[in-house]
Chains A and B, each alone.
Chain A
């Protein structure tokens, strides 16, 4: 589904953030990318979307990541940003859901119908007419996920989906994620979230792939985690 082949990235004049990174993600897989702050998790996600000038190749659904394929790739890959404020730019929640749909050629009415369905499915239909700036952090995160889901992506990339959420909202997000039957890549250092949502984990440190394996193998390896500035998840202690 997604294949990284020897991908490297650096901001001009700085050290590599990602170095010789190769990885294959299979269809329907629930993958977690873990690592400390600044390890390169977000960079991996962003590179899939063609937002960065990378060296190396990435294939998505058999399509090579290059300019002429960008539109198609971006349509099939949904990206939930770490900061939902940056994702919601329209006046109302429903407008934000419709924005992408209309840009991809849906009519006004169809887009509205589709958006309402998605909000219904996520159980946040009551937020539709709310102004974005009046949402709480938890509502905002749910709405941000809704904006991405409305586009019916085949792959969903999530950057720190549980950051700054209270326990009940965090639980809501986890349930939502588990109810979606698509390929998901979650970048996070919330290891309890990983336990609840993913099957496979890769561990990144300073732009390099350190470990790749099943959740139960990696998240129980205290030595490995601590070497990479992480701790055992609470539920494992």
Chain B
């Protein structure tokens, strides 16, 4: 399976998950967005040695995931894209910050180790919550939410169309790659001389297709409003849950037990 196929699979899996019907799926997307941003803001605001304080925050994703019925392993799979830079940054800390701050039994633990753990934990927590948002809201719902906070229709249309075209694009790309490889056995990748015409053709052709597609949307009365996708019923408790979550986050962050 080549890379483009893999990319398509990822997209497919994510949109399938977003179609679920758990309690969390039914919270209005704007509320979920707010919850996520608050969580991330608070998480990143922890001091760099405040491991024990930060650790309590784990409870939030744990609880949310229980209600969302979202696969946790899928989320872990995404770590490989996001975590490398965070881990590199973190790994440096023990080398530069060697002051011992804590003894566990006889073993002294330096500030660097603590701050490394804090950084990695922050990375994980933020990712868990962002992934929860992704896995429980579809792109259309998000675009409706964006329209509600007056983001221009131009922009939401751009996002929707881009998302649609990615699948088409990857499809074409994988067909073309196959066609190329059939005529160039044993070559790794595509040789430089062909890059321009390979991608260039793809672009020009896709632009034509995209224009035809957009025309047919406009012909059927599309004017930027995605009135269509409203069919999901949102839970009446959305705002209540959001406020509750906000209170809990602030409580955990600012009150020491």
Contact = CB atoms under 8 A, between A and B. Distances in A.
B98 interface: no
Contacts of A79: 216, 219
A99 interface: yes
B216 to A, nearest CB: 5
Interface in B18-65: none
Contacts of B192: none
B221 A89 contact: no
Interface stretch (A101-109, A175-183, A193-201, A218-226): A101-109
B220 A100 contact: yes
A52 to B, nearest CB: 10
Interface in A84-116: 85-87, 89, 95, 98-100, 102-104, 108
Among A89, A102, A147, A151, the one with the most B-chain Cβ atoms within 10 Å of its Cβ is A89
A83 B220 contact: no
A211 B222 CA distance: 37
B209 A49 contact: no
B17 to A, nearest CB: 15
A43 to B, nearest CB: 13
B231 interface: yes
Given A100-B220, A103-B223, A83 B209 contact: yes
A99 B164 contact: no
B227 A103 contact: yes
A216 interface: no
A86 to B, nearest CB: 4
| Chain B interface, >50% SS class | helix
B103 interface: no
A71 B228 CA distance: 19
Contacts of A75: 221
Interface residues of A, number: 22
A130 interface: no
B221 A104 contact: yes
Contacts of B212: 81, 83, 86
A82 to B, nearest CB: 9
B10 interface: no
A87 B216 contact: yes
Nearest to B231: A108
B228 A74 contact: no
| Chain A interface, >50% SS class | helix
Contacts of B218: 74
Contacts, number: 49
Contacts of A237: none
A85 B217 CA distance: 12
B230 to A, nearest CB: 7
Given A89-B164, A95-B228, A108-B230, A100 B221 contact: yes
A102 B216 contact: no
Nearest to B227: A102
A51 B231 contact: no
B219 A98 contact: no
Contacts of B209: 83, 85-86
Contacts of B219: 49, 51, 74, 79
A100 B222 CA distance: 7
Contacts of B231: 108
B120 to A, nearest CB: 38
Interface in A10-44: none
A74 B221 contact: yes
A101 to B, nearest CB: 9
B210 to A, nearest CB: 8
A89 B215 CA distance: 11
Contacts of A147: 220
Closest 3 CB pairs of A and B: A100-B220, A103-B221, A86-B212
26 contacts: A49-B219, A51-B215, A51-B219, A71-B221, A74-B219, A74-B221, A79-B216, A79-B219, A81-B212, A83-B212, A85-B209, A86-B212, A86-B213, A86-B216, A87-B216, A89-B217, A95-B228, A99-B217, A99-B222, A100-B220, A102-B228, A103-B220, A103-B225, A104-B221, A108-B230, A147-B220
Given A83-B209, A99-B228, A108-B231, 18 more contacts: A51-B219, A75-B221, A79-B219, A83-B212, A86-B209, A86-B212, A89-B164, A89-B213, A99-B217, A99-B220, A100-B220, A103-B220, A103-B222, A103-B223, A103-B227, A104-B221, A108-B230, A151-B220
Interface of A: 49, 51, 71, 74-75, 79, 81, 83, 85-87, 89, 95, 98-100, 102-104, 108, 147, 151
